[in-house]
């Protein structure tokens, strides 16, 4: 009775295990829309699939009334096939499959809703010339594509199991484990039962593989014959991880079978003898002979049908057999080493055998994880989503990614009529080459009668009277001024000419590009490259109302994203998923009533200077924009009074020069440059350098937590080397309130403390006001010891009016020192921090406050881990006021200082 129950439990375990494994795989793959869409997109690798999909899309365009699809169907189909074989189309296809899959899971696709491939029309339009009306009709038809496929998909009953599949998998695996354990417990001969369970694992693993082979065969016969090979290959690749699991389950079984003592070892000779004997017995009867003939015929046809695939299975089967033989040999050595049957030593052999089994299972498990994970990665990789060309950037916020940019992007040698161009390629060509940030200038212009020399275009005269601002002195160039004036004087206004907006660099006389054309280029790129995010900074010399009207007329608005002050910046994936992959910033355009997408540039950006006569002058000093702004514009070009020179740009844009400047600015400003803008982006290494730095940093930045949508905090310290570029004078401590009288204080001690206190305050304020989210609190902690020391002397000697204003900063410094002590930092280390800070801040070289912060942070991290310092800094900053509110320390006039006996060599204007 026990033997029968044990046998029944083995059967139950054998049935439940593959059900549990397949259910667990399905939960992770078939019922997850992202994974399913990735693996489905892998089918686009096949030329047969691309051909068939292009054929179907051409047919649907024709049904939608597209004239080119009707008149030139074969030619349009070739163009569509070329468009399909692009990363951009794969992204659109993946999104459409994901959305349809989500609808199927929700039970909403049985009504015939198909794939939404409307966005693909923009890619097709870039290959063939579709009119605006044709594009509209086409996109309307392609928003419901391949409905017959999605109907068949929706009718599959497997989708109704979404809510229960995880339960099925868990229950099946628990039942398999419990049944196997029960069979061993009830068995009279446990070694035989364990061996039977091992063979059950072998059979289960091979059954999983066989079911996948059957699925390939069935699916390839259910589609168009032209697609059968492609569908079969896609299923094979998409289920490679499950197939690997099946083979490794069989390997587990063989390890168990080989580890248990048996009277028969299935060596090649034993297998050959048993197979020969079985064949010989069949041949003795007519029925047996017929069976052998049919079996041979079937095997032959199978190999003829799929020779390489079945040869692969045969090789894998041979590998499993070698696994069995290898384990058998190892255990025969163990048994021969401890052959005695004496009960006193039997435990020793059992222990050795158990250890060997555990080791082999661990090795097999490691191999299982590695091979199945690798197979899953390959299956997903073909459909992996990318953002600005790299999957690694998708989950990074805007302030964590660099955008290669062009300065005066419209001023291009290849754009007709531009003198003194600062780029070679046009805006359209720049975007196609990989530029993802455009710095453009809008001006009012009026078309004249004069023709531009060497072109068929009329010269455009700048309408200075209508503009918001004229070029500032630091942007003007005498040579350009003179040439523009000459051209303007010789250019009478054309008949019925109206003022319009043009993209010009200061003077439309020296080159212009219609604003509407530039917007059209940007829109076309955004539509046809939905996985690329583009930033545009507009130096707007035109009114916000006119500029906004032009943008709205261009049709670009649906692609424009809006950033919200006080909220976390979006990731690239966020923008791409919303189909809002363009960010537009205007330098001057702050006006009431403008749309939220028309963002003021220097409320979001801080920037570096832009007026350099040579690369030696490059620095990272603050320029426009608050140091608290989350994004940064790094201006990296040579201007001065020289004319644009691509040969100079080639040197300036070299990888060495770019890396040096970028790393220096990270160290000095504590923020990653968001846009790195250059002249002549075609020269040098801008694109490759930005990409290399982005990808190198991407692996060190924590990804978004999918559960709460937030990004884990990053370290508040910067690991870049100390800066080597001078940053100029220290930022002074702000002074606003006028102090008219001074009460008390010790003039001698006060004057002695004044200079070091001012230097310390300047360094701390320069650094703390430039802190970004990653540095919040760190500056306070590392400056705390030196700030406490100097401010304590200052407050104790200052007049009451000044001491009261300085006391909150002293208290903040004391809180910082207390926080350091709570972290375990001893008094000696705190003194060293103060001494080091004093030595640097009060030295003759007077390094800037950010440099000192970097040095002090590096020292403190030798005593404290970066993670603990970062956590403590965040906690500290959360409990303190905005430091800017503390910096009004009062201003004392000269007459007040004299009347109150506070004659110091240092000015009290900022004290």
Q: What is the pLDDT averaged over residues 263-286? A: 76
In angstroms, how far is CA 572 from the centroid of its own chain?
A: 7
Distance CA 858, CA 875 (A): 20
Q: Which residues contact 273 (CB under 8 A, 6 or more apart)?
A: none
394-408 per-position pLDDT tens digit: 889 999 999 999 999
Count of C-beta atoms within a 10 Å radius of residue 74:
8
Judged against a pLDDT cut of 90, whether residue 869 lies above it is answered with no
CA distances from 864 to 127, 712, 826, 854, 860 (A): 58, 20, 11, 15, 6
Contact indicator for 748, 818 with CB cutoff of 8 Å: no
Q: How far apart are the C-alpha atoms of 851 and 571, rounded to whole Å?
A: 30
Alpha helices in 541-681 (DSSP H): 544-554, 572-577, 646-652, 655-669
Chain segment 152-161, per-residue pLDDT in tens: 555 555 566 6
Q: Is 602 exposed, middle or buried (0-12, 13-18, 19+ CB in 10 A)?
A: buried
> Which contiguous run of DSSP H or E holds residue 606?
strand 605-607
Antiparallel, parallel or unpaired: β 458-462 and 513-514: unpaired
CB 520 within 8 A of CB 554: yes
230 confidence band (pLDDT: 50, 70, 90) = low
Are the C-beta atoms of 791 and 810 separated by less than 8 Å? yes
**High-pLDDT (> 90) share of the chain, %:** 18
Q: What is the pLDDT of residue 102?
A: 73
Write the pLDDT tens digit of every residue in 813-839. 998 888 888 788 988 999 999 999 888
Listed in sequence order, the DSSP H helices in 769-799 are 778-797
pLDDT of residue 62: 75
pLDDT in tens, 838-848: 888 887 666 77
Sequence-ordered alpha helix ranges (H) in 72-146: 73-84, 87-105, 120-127, 132-142
What's the average model confidence in pLDDT over 476-481? 57
- Identify the weakest region by mean pLDDT among 323-337, 342-356, 556-570: 342-356
pLDDT given at position 161? 65
Task: Return the SS3 of 677.
Answer: strand
User: Is the Cβ–Cβ distance between 186 and 6 less than 8 Å?
Assistant: yes
pLDDT tens digits, one per residue of 572-598 = 999 998 889 999 999 876 666 789 999
Residues 6+ apart with CB under 8 A from 866: 715, 717
- What is the percent of the chain where pLDDT is above 70? 68
Burial (CB < 10 A; 0-12, 13-18, 19+), residue 594, is: middle
Cβ(502)–Cβ(463) under 8 Å? no
Of the pLDDT bands very low, low, confident and very high (cuts 50, 70, 90), residue 728 is: very low
pLDDT value of residue 500: 92
Average pLDDT for residues 106-117, to the nearest whole number?
Answer: 55
827 or 229, higher pLDDT? 827
| Residue predicted with more confidence, 68 or 614 | 614
3 state DSSP class of 435 = coil
Q: Is residue 461 predicted with pLDDT exceeding 80? A: yes
Mean pLDDT throughout 883-891? 78
Q: What average pLDDT does range 866-887 have in this prediction?
A: 76
Is residue 911 within 8 Å of 754, Cβ to Cβ?
yes
More confident: 86 or 827: 827
Residue 615 confidence class, pLDDT cut points 50, 70, 90: confident
Closest CA to 584 of 626, 627, 552, 624: 552
Give the CA distances from residue 852 to residues 716, 771, 842, in Å, rounded to whole numbers and listed in that order.
15, 14, 11
- List pLDDT tens digits, range 5-64: 888 888 888 888 888 888 888 777 777 777 777 777 777 777 777 777 777 777 777 766
**Comparison of pLDDT for 337 and 532, the residue scoring more:** 532
Mean pLDDT, range 864-881, rounded to an integer: 76
Give the pLDDT confidence score for residue 317 in this predicted structure: 66
Express each pLDDT in 276-306 by its tens digit.
888 888 888 888 888 878 888 877 776 666 6
Report the distance separating Cα 49 and Cα 827, nearest Å. Answer: 72
- Predicted pLDDT at 766: 79
pLDDT score recorded for residue 493: 62
Q: What confidence score (pLDDT) does residue 302 get?
A: 64
Give the model's confidence band at 521: pLDDT under 50 very low, under 70 low, under 90 confident, else very high: very high
Check whether 712 has a pLDDT greater than 50: no
Q: If we measure between CA atoms, which residue out of 477, 398, 412 comes closest to residue 681?
A: 412
Phi (first) and psi of residue 5, to 5 degrees: -65, -40
Return the residue matching tokens 């008390």.
744
Mean pLDDT, all residues of the chain: 76
């Amino acid at each position: 009775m026990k033997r029968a129950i044990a046998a029944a439990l083995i059967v139950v375990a054998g049935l439940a295990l593959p059900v549990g494994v397949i259910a667990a795989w399905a939960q992770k793959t078939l019922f997850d829309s992202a994974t399913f869409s990735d693996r489905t997109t892998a089918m686009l690798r096949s030329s047969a699939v691309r051909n068939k999909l292009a054929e179907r899309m051409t047919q649907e365009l024709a049904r939608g009334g597209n004239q080119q699809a009707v008149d030139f169907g074969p030619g349009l189909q070739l163009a569509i096939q070329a468009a399909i074989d692009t990363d951009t189309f794969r992204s659109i296809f993946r999104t459409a499959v994901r959305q349809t899959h989500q609808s199927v899971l929700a039970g909403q696709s049985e009504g015939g809703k198909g794939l939404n491939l409307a966005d693909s029309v923009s890619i097709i339009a870039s290959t063939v010339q579709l009119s605006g009306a044709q594009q509209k009709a086409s996109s309307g038809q392609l928003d419901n594509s391949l409905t017959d496929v999605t109907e068949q998909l929706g009718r599959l009953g497997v989708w109704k199991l979404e809510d229960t599949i995880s339960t099925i998998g868990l229950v099946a695996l628990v039942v398999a484990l419990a049944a196997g354990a029960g069979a061993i417990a009830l068995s009279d001969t446990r070694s035989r039962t364990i061996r039977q369970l091992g063979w059950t694992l072998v059979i289960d693993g091979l059954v999983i593989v066989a079911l996948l082979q059957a699925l390939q065969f069935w699916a390839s016969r259910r589609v168009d014959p032209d697609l059968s090979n492609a569908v079969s290959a896609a299923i094979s690749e998409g289920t490679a991880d499950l197939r690997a699991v099946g083979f490794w389950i069989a390997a587990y079984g063989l390890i168990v079978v080989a580890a248990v003592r048996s009277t028969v070892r299935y060596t090649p000779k034993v297998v050959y003898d048993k197979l020969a004997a079985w064949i010989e017995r069949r041949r003795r009867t007519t029925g047996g002979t017929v069976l052998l003939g049919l079996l041979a015929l079937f095997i032959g046809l199978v190999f003829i049908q799929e020779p390489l695939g079945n040869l692969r299975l045969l090789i894998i089967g041979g590998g499993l057999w070698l696994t069995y033989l290898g384990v058998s040999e190892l255990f025969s050595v163990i048994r021969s080493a401890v052959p005695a049957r004496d009960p006193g030593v039997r435990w020793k052999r059992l222990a050795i055998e158990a250890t060997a089994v555990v080791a082999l299972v661990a090795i097999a498990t490691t191999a299982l994880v590695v091979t199945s994970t690798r197979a899953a990665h390959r299956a997903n990789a073909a459909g992996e989503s990318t953002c600005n060309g790299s999957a690694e950037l998708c989950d990074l916020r805007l302030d964590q990614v660099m955008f290669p940019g062009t300065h005066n992007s419209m001023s291009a040698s290849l754009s007709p009529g531009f003198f003194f161009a600062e780029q070679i390629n046009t805006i359209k060509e720049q975007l196609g080459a990989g530029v993802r940030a455009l710095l453009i200038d809008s001006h009012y212009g009026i078309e004249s009668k004069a023709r531009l020399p060497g072109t068929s275009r009329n010269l455009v005269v700048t309408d200075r009277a209508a503009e918001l601002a004229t070029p500032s002195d630091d942007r003007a160039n005498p040579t350009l001024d003179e040439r523009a004036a000459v051209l303007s004087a010789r250019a009478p206004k054309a008949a019925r000419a109206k003022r319009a907006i043009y993209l010009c660099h200061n003077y439309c006389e020296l080159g212009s590009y219609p604003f509407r054309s530039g917007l059209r280029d940007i829109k076309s790129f955004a539509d046809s490259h939905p996985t690329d995010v583009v930033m545009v900074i507009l130096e707007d010399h035109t009114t916000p109302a006119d500029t906004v009207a032009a943008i709205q007329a261009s049709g670009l608005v649906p692609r424009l994203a809006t950033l919200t002050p006080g909220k976390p910046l979006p990731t690239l994936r966020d923008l791409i998923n919303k189909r809002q992959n363009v960010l537009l910033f205007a330098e001057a355009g702050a006006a009431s009533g403008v749309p939220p997408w028309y963002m003021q540039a220097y409320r979001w950006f801080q920037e570096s200077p832009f007026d350099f006569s040579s690369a030696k002058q490059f620095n990272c000093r603050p320029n426009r924009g608050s140091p608290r702004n989350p994004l940064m514009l790094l201006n990296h070009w040579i201007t001065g009074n020289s004319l644009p020179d691509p040969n100079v740009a080639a040197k300036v844009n070299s990888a060495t020069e770019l890396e040096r400047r970028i790393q220096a600015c990270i160290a000095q400003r504590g923020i990653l440059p968001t846009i790195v803008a250059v002249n002549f982006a075609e020269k040098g290494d801008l694109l490759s350098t930005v990409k290399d730095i982005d990808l190198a940093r991407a692996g060190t930045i924590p990804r978004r937590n999918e559960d709460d949508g937030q990004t884990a905090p990053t370290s508040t310290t910067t690991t870049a080397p100390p800066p080597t570029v001078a940053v100029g004078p220290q930022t002074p401590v702000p002074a606003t309130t006028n102090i008219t009288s001074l009460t008390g204080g010790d003039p001698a001690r006060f004057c002695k403390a004044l200079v070091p206190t001012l230097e310390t305050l300047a360094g701390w304020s320069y650094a703390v006001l430039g802190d970004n989210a990653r540095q919040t609190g760190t500056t306070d902690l590392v400056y705390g010891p030196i700030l406490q020391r100097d401010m304590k002397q200052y407050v104790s000697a200052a007049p009451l009016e000044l001491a009261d204003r300085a006391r909150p900063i002293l208290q903040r410094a004391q809180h910082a020192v207390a926080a350091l002590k709570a972290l375990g930092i001893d008094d000696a280390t705190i003194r060293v921090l103060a001494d080091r800070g004093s030595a640097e801040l009060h030295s003759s070289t007077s390094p800037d406050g950010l440099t000192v912060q970097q040095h002090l942070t590096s020292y403190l991290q030798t005593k404290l881990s970066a993670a603990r310092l970062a956590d403590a800094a965040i906690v500290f900053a959360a409990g303190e006021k905005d430091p800017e509110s503390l910096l009004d320390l009062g201003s004392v006039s000269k007459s007040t200082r004299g009347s109150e006996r506070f004659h110091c060599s240092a000015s009290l204007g900022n004290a």
